[in-house]
């Protein structure tokens, strides 16, 4: 097919129409930007854009900080990384210190439910949680005695949550 000027104009018009008519109706990311207003980039399924939580890293140790490999600039890179790490830790600590008790509770519960780790391990945990919830639903419906293993798991979960609370907000992608 030969692309003519007319085709280009049609494509251009379709794009302009989409931006005028459809784009305003599509859900937008509401993350607060450094400029202080909501981000406004088109949101992904989770309600945030690709920049503000739309993507999760891949690979086994995606959540761990990588140290630079040996090379001429390794020392400089390392120092820069350490400086950035320290700066973000300070900013995070200040943000947490400025939170109201409700905000803090919300923050901590998010930290508890969003543990970093390799994708496979997180998927396994998620599967276990779903399975436990299914069993709990059946038990509640049938009024069966709660199996000891589930009771133990609930206790383990509670203990893990307490452990997370003790560790505080130090659970982050650099742990």
* Chain residues in the site for Zn ion (CB under 5 A): 29, 31, 39, 41, 49, 51-52
Which C-beta is closer to Zn ion: that of 31 or that of 139?
A: 31
Least CB distance from residue 48 to Zn ion, whole Å?
6
Contact 139, 125 (CB under 8 A): no
The least CB distance from residue 24 to Zn ion, in Å, is 17
How near is the Cβ of 42 to Zn ion at its closest, in Å?
9
Residue with tokens 């030969």: 2
Q: What is the CA radius of gyration of the chain?
A: 24
Measured CA distances, 160 to 111, 112, 155 (Å): 12, 9, 9
Pick between residue 12 and residue 55 the one whose CB is nearest to Zn ion. 55
Whichever of 54 and 68 has its CB closer to Zn ion, that residue is 54
Give the number of other CB atoms < 10 A from CB of residue 49: 19
The Cα 158–Cα 130 span in angstroms is 16
Toward Zn ion, which CB reaches closer, 28 or 77?
28
Least gap, CB of 114 to Zn ion (angstroms): 18
| Minimum CB–partner distance for residue 51 and Zn ion (Å) | 5
Q: Which residue, 44 or 136, has its beta carbon nearer to Zn ion?
A: 44
Torsional class of 12: left (φ above 0), alpha (ψ -120 to 50), beta (otherwise): alpha
- DSSP conformation class of 172: S
């Amino acid at each position: 097919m030969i692309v003519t000027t007319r085709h280009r104009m049609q494509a251009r018009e379709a794009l302009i129409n989409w931006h005028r008519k459809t784009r305003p109706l599509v859900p937008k990311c509401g993350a607060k930007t450094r400029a202080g207003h909501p981000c406004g980039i088109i949101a992904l399924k989770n309600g945030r854009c690709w920049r503000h939580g739309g993507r999760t890293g891949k690979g086994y140790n995606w959540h761990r900080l990588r140290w630079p490999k040996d090379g001429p600039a390794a020392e400089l890179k390392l120092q820069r990384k350490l400086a950035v790490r320290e700066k973000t830790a300070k900013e995070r600590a200040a943000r947490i210190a400025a939170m109201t008790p409700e905000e803090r509770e919300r923050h901590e519960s998010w930290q508890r439910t969003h543990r970093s780790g390799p994708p496979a391990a997180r998927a396994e945990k998620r599967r276990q949680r779903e399975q436990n919830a299914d069993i709990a639903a059946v038990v509640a419906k049938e009024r069966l005695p709660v199996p000891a293993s589930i009771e133990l798991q609930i206790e383990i979960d509670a203990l893990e949550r307490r452990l997370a609370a003790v560790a505080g907000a130090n659970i982050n992608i650099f742990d």
